[in-house]
């Protein structure tokens, strides 16, 4: 048992993520509905909105991570700007009357995410002792998933019991959004760093100058992103199998419950048995789950496999990021997280298109089986190619 406990800053960052996801999930599920009903647009506009927003956010993540490796105070400052921008723009989506306005606000929302994600993940690593990196990142992922669950349930309750309109639900997301900034400003403290040395030795932005272990791991993560299709495809499969809108939303909530239930356990396991081992177990669980999703033909079976998927993928969410903190040099931690978010973010769009194309030209079963097979390949690469020279924390 480690004698190190979660620092107050790690707990505060977890609460910030909980509240932000609470606000986000009161809005995000309704974006396709706004486009289809209020704006009278179709899937092409949805793809344009999400694609432009995600691409902008991905490049900002690299810049923000690099910039945050400078003087003390930059990580928190970027987090404040990022969370403020998202939580100012997101509630205004309830007032849009054109897809151009929706594109602008959604881009501002995702730009806020781009500014905050890499500095936040780096600050978690700065604040926690290396012996509890798994616990720190696992706790953060548990809070993140818990907020997503809470936001979905709040949206369902507001629609079903309070009979609010979609626009009203979106506007009320401003309340948890305001709490995000209060907790961040007064609860998060950036620990002291050797400012002169870090400023002088700050990691170059060039990809080739990242450590070899870091580059290998990021390449495998990019490939795994092509296997890790958007979880909304699980909801689409539920719709195909005849689930109602409420059932689909509840399936989404169940998925978040499952991931949150094992995130903290996965973090503790990573600290005890090795972060790479837990990541491999989680990725292997992902592969098995997607193979099973490829065999599902009934709604009841989809519920069971979705719960299994959530439990297994939740185990590795923290260790996947903790590996970056563990193996990145101190001078490159923010930059490394910037490359991580950029690589994953830029891979999401072609990965979604590829998965959707296989679904469209063959069927859903083939798409899920393809993703499962690709995930198995990534497990082998992580085991035998990435991180050859491991210290005890990686195992």
Where does residue 325 rank: exposed (0-12), middle (13-18), buried (19+ CB within 10 A)?
buried
Averaged confidence pLDDT in the chain? 80
Distance CA(189)–CA(194), nearest Å, equals: 16
Integer angstrom CA distances of residue 366 from 93, 119, 353, 373: 36, 38, 15, 11
* 393 vs 3 pLDDT, higher one: 3
Mean pLDDT over 116-134 rounds to 87
Q: Give a yes or no: residue 3 inside a domain.
A: no
DSSP state of 294: T
Is the distance from CB of 81 to CB of 25 less than 8 angstroms?
Answer: no
For the ranges 136-150, 160-174, 217-231, which has the lowest average pLDDT?
A: 217-231
Integer Cα distance of 3 and 34 in angstroms: 50
Of residues 137 and 352, more confidence is placed in 137
Q: Is residue 138 part of a domain?
A: yes
Residue 44's pLDDT band (cuts 50, 70, 90): low
Tell which residue, 289, 355, 279, 351, has the closest CA to residue 320: 279
Who wins on pLDDT, 184 or 45?
184
The pLDDT score that the predictor gives to residue 198 is: 45
Rounded to whole angstroms, the Cα distance separating 392 from 21 reads: 34
In a domain, 120, yes or no: yes
pLDDT at 253 over 80: yes
pLDDT (average), residues 274-289: 85
Q: Is the pLDDT of residue 197 over 50?
A: no
Percent of the chain whose pLDDT exceeds 90 = 17
Number of structural domains the chain divides into: 1
- CATH code of the domain in which 117 resides: 1.20.1250.20
Q: How far apart are CA 339 and CA 39, in angstroms?
A: 36
- The answer as to whether 394 is a domain residue is no
On whether residue 393 sits in a domain, the answer given is no
Note the pTM of the prediction, 2 decimals: 0.73
Task: Give the per-residue pLDDT at 395.
Answer: 56
Domain range for 380 is 8-384
Backbone dihedral angles phi then psi of residue 21, each to the nearest 5 degrees: -70, -30
pLDDT band at 21 (very low <50, low <70, confident <90, very high): very high
Q: Has residue 55 been placed in a domain? A: yes
Residue 194, φ and ψ in degrees, nearest 5:
-75, 85
In this predicted model, what pLDDT tens digit does every residue of 336-366 receive, in sequence order? 778 877 777 777 767 777 777 787 788 888 8
Q: What is the pLDDT of residue 332?
A: 66
In a domain, 395, yes or no: no
Q: Among 345, 394, 314, which Cα is nearest to 140's? A: 314
pLDDT for 146:
87
CB count within 10 Å of CB 295 equals 12
* d(C-alpha 142, C-alpha 267), whole Å: 10
Q: Is residue 376 in some structural domain?
A: yes
| pLDDT band at residue 72 under the 50/70/90 scheme | low
């Amino acid at each position: 048992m480690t004698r190190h406990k979660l620092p107050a800053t790690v707990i505060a960052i977890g609460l910030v993520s909980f509240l932000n996801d609470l606000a986000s999930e009161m809005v995000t599920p309704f974006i396709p509905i706004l486009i289809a009903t209020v704006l009278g647009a179709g899937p092409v506009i949805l793809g344009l909105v999400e694609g432009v927003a995600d691409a902008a956010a991905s490049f900002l993540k690299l810049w923000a991570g690099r910039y945050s490796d400078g003087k003390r105070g930059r990580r928190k400052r970027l987090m404040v700007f990022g969370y403020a921008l998202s939580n100012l723009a997101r509630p205004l989506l309830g007032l849009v009357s054109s897809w151009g306005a929706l594109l602008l606000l959604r881009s501002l929302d995702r730009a806020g995410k781009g500014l905050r994600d890499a500095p936040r993940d780096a600050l978690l690593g700065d604040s926690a002792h290396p012996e509890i990196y798994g616990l720190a990142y696992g706790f953060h992922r548990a809070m993140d998933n818990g907020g997503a669950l809470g936001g979905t349930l709040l949206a369902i309750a507001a629609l079903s019991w309070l009979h609010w309109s979609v626009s009203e639900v979106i506007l009320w997301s401003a309340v948890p959004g305001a709490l995000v900034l209060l907790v961040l400003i007064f609860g998060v403290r950036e620990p002291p760093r050797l400012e002169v040395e870090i400023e002088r030795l700050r990691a170059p932005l060039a990809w080739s100058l990242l450590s070899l272990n870091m580059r290998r791991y990021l390449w495998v993560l990019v490939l795994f992103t092509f296997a890790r299709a958007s979880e909304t495809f699980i909801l689409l499969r539920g719709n195909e199998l005849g689930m109602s809108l409420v059932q689909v939303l509840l399936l989404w909530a169940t998925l978040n419950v499952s991931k949150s239930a094992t995130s903290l356990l996965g973090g503790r396991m990573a600290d005890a048995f090795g972060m790479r081992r837990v990541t491999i177990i989680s990725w292997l669980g992902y592969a098995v789950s997607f193979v099973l999703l490829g065999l599902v033909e009934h709604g009841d079976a989809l519920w069971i496999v979705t719960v299994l998927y959530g439990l297994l993928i939740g185990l590795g969410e923290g260790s996947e990021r903790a590996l970056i903190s563990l193996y990145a040099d101190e001078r490159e931690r923010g930059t490394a997280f910037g490359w991580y978010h950029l690589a994953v973010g830029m891979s999401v769009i072609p990965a979604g298109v590829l998965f959707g194309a296989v679904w469209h030209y063959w069927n859903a079963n083939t798409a899920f089986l393809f993703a499962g097979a690709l995930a198995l390949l990534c497990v082998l690469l992580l085991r035998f190619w990435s991180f050859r020279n491991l210290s005890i924390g990686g195992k």
